[in-house]
A and B are shown apart, each in its own frame.
Chain A
Amino acid sequence: MQNRKRKRAKKENRVIMSILFVVFCIYAATLLLPLIWMFINSFKSNNNEFFYEQWKFTSFTLKNYKLLFVGENNIMGMFTNTLILSLSIPTVSAFFSLCAGHAVGSFDYKLKGVVYFIFLMPMFVSVAGTTPYLYKLLNDLHIFDTHIGLIIMACGVSGFGFLMYYSVFRNISRTYTEAAMMDGAGYWRTFLQILVPQAKNLIAAQWVMGFIGTWNDFAGPYLFLPSYPTLGVGVKEISDNIAKGGSYPELFANITLMLIPMLVLFFAFQKKIMTVSLGGGIKG
């Protein structure tokens, strides 16, 4: 009886798994094919060629890629802007998260609970409709439309990153600090040379995630950095021009250029990225 039931369950399992396999294949195809489609068509010389043969290399021209650099789109400027933000934002955010994690995780003092609570607040309370005020504030501080403005906004400690670093520092034995201090190292030196390196895997993974997030960000630079378009904003602008007779292949070349660094990063750090998005194994 039990045996038959088990057999039936096994058979059922196999059937459903096969169906799921087919569904997964289709889903994977819908994720990959559009990218391949854009890539192929970024080598077409004009719109007409693209409209009639969407899946074949009917012509192969690097014209679109060249146009990106010499044309009026100023892609080098966009590239630089994106790179400046993507390099600096995860760096300052990691640094201040580490500071906060260290301050709350490694010392005992009276207000510690309050500080801990404060850094978690943004995780639990989110007020709608703050961006218009943020815009005004940035204007009043004269950091609107500057890279510095976006970087300053990233200096905060967000709930999740803070929790991660906090738990790292809490788990580092305090004998390390004591030994280093005994040898005459100051607090800053102990922090930066002894403690931070112990979290370097986590920092690296977080940093890469931050880099990717900033690289792909649209709303932030669009709203607060209008004079210095990033690649994402640029792609949006070029695509808006298409309705007025712009060229699809050129847009696809632009998209490909924006995608390549991400794909390279992804395949280089695939394992790390995929584990850090779990939130470093926080139980839940």
Chain B
Amino acid sequence: MLANANINLRVKKGRKNLKRNLFIFSLLIVPMLHFLVFWVYINARTISLAFYNWNVFENVYEFVGLDNFKEQFRMFKERPETMKMFLNAFRAIPINVACLGMAVIVGYAFSKHIYGERVFRVIFYLPSMISIVILTLCYRYMFAYSPGMLQGPAAEVLRFLGVNYNGWETALDEPAVISRLWWLVSIFCVWASAGINIILVSSAMSRIPEEVKESAKLDGVGFWRELFQIHIPLIMPTISVFLVNSMMAVSAFYIQPMLILGETGPRSAYSTVGWYMFNMTGRAQNGDMPLISTVGFIMTVAVSILVIVVKKVTDKITPDVDF
């Protein structure tokens, strides 16, 4: 009798477990399939084709080992302009650092309750709500200068200040123009990036205990010293996450230069790896895939190394405090 009940209980428990496992399975099936198809398969395919070449005669991919990489590095040596798209992609790093710098200063001013803090908070968040297409258009028209046609307000201001500014499209391949246009793109990125970064930084700063700030005030610590010796070290974990993310964003850096300089077409002086990938999407034939994969692979390796280095360095300079 007792033994019977025991078996019954075990069967019941087993059935319950089965039911539970089925439930967990049904929760996970779609996300897992998605992961397998859109992450594992896509990534494996992308990486593996870097080691293959398309055989036009037999319509198959042939394994060629490291030949694609050798070819790519030979190209770098012989035609340095093929390097440009990689180098341009890394422009995203100083831009992101500038964004971070701005976010830190603004967040710091917020944590000190600058006059009008609340209004500024709302206004500065605005760009995060607006489509990048609209923001870039806005920016382009602001800086447009074609006499008799559109003379954008920002261009007018520049000319009023005595800058010899002649609008967007003049002699695109001249070094001076290239660097000027890249400046305009960089300024745009910083200008439009404020929103979320500021919120991230200022919320990290708001977690710094009041006593620390108070004691700094009592010691008569100056404005900049408080920023560099108290606030920045204490929000180092946030900064580290931000920097790692911005390293990972390098390979996806294209939408700002593309939308701002788009009419110039993808020229080597302005193209980035991300832009190249965007252009190849839908256009690439089987034969182009190995090159795409090779470029992507080189970029992935470069970015991974950077991420690890940045992580190591920021971990080292992060003070070991908990609050």
Task: List residues of chain A with CB under 8 Å of any chain B CB.
Answer: 2, 5-9, 12-13, 16-17, 20-21, 24, 27-28, 30-35, 37-38, 47, 50-51, 54-55, 96, 99-100, 102-103, 107, 109, 115, 118-119, 121-122, 125-135, 137, 152-153, 155-157, 187-188, 191, 212, 215-219, 223, 231-232, 235-236, 239-240, 243, 248, 251, 255, 258-259, 262-263, 265-266, 270, 273-274, 277-278, 281, 283-284
Say if the beta carbon of B164 comes within 8 Å of chain A. Answer: no
Highest count of chain A CB atoms <10 Å: which of B43, B273, B274, B278: B43
Partner pick for A187 among B20, B37, B281, B284, CB 8 A cutoff: B20
A277 with B28: in contact, given A33-B153, A223-B278 (CB under 8 Å)? no
Given A17-B109, A132-B289, A156-B38, A218–B131 Cβ distance below 8 Å?
Answer: yes
Given A126-B248, A262-B130, do A103 and B295 touch, yes or no (CB 8 Å)? no
Cα–Cα, bound, A35→B130 (Å): 10
Is B223 touching A109 in the complex (CB atoms < 8 A)? no
- B277 lies within 8 A of A216 (CB): no
Q: Interface on chain B toward A: helix, strand, loop, or mixed SS?
A: helix
Q: Does B263 contact A (CB under 8 A)?
A: yes
CA–CA, A6 to B217, complex, Å? Answer: 7
Central interface residue in A31, A102, A212, by most chain B CB within 10 Å: A31
Q: Is the CB of B241 within 8 A of A277?
A: no
Inter-chain contacts of A16 with B (CB < 8 A): 223
Contact of A259 among B106, B130, B263, B274 (CB under 8 A): B130
Partner of A277, one of B24, B128, B292: B128
CB <8 Å contact, A118 and B35: yes
The answer to whether A100 touches B138 (Cβ under 8 A) is no
Q: Which residue from chain B places its CB closest to the CB of A115 in the assembled complex?
A: B28
* Inter-subunit contact B42/A100 (CB<8 Å): no
* Known contacts A100-B27, A219-B255, A278-B200; A263 and B129 CB within 8 A of each other: yes
Which residues in B have their C-beta under 8 angstroms from that of A131? 277-278, 280-281
* CA–CA, A27 and B119, complex, Å: 12
- Asked whether B31 lies within 8 Å of A262 as measured between CB atoms, the reply is no
Q: Which of B276-294 contact A (CB under 8 A)?
A: 277-278, 280-282, 284, 288-289, 292-293
A-B contact count (CB 8 A): 248
Cβ-defined partner of B251 (8 Å) among A28, A126, A265, A270: A126
Contact B151 A51 (CB under 8 A): yes
Contact indicator A128/B151 (Cβ below 8 Å): no
Given the complex, which residues of A lie within 8 Å of B292, measured CB to CB?
129, 132
Least CB distance from B122 to A in Å reads 7
The verdict on A278 contacting B203 (CB below 8 Å), with A130-B43, A153-B38 known, is: yes
B199 interface residue per 8 A CB criterion: yes
Q: Select from chain B the residue with minimum beta-carbon distance to A18.
A: B115
Is B87's beta carbon under 8 Å from chain A? no
A219 contacts across to B, CB distance below 8 A: 255, 278
Residues of chain B within 8 A of A100, CB atoms compared: 27-28, 31
Tell me, rounded to whole Å, the shortest Cβ–Cβ distance linking B96 to chain A. 15
Q: A32-B123, A121-B35, A134-B42 are in contact. List 13 more A-B contacts (CB 8 A).
A: A6-B217, A127-B296, A127-B300, A129-B46, A129-B251, A129-B277, A129-B299, A132-B280, A134-B38, A232-B131, A235-B131, A251-B137, A284-B237
CB<8 Å pairs between A and B, sample of 13: A17-B115, A21-B115, A28-B119, A51-B150, A109-B24, A119-B31, A119-B35, A121-B39, A131-B281, A258-B131, A266-B125, A278-B203, A284-B241
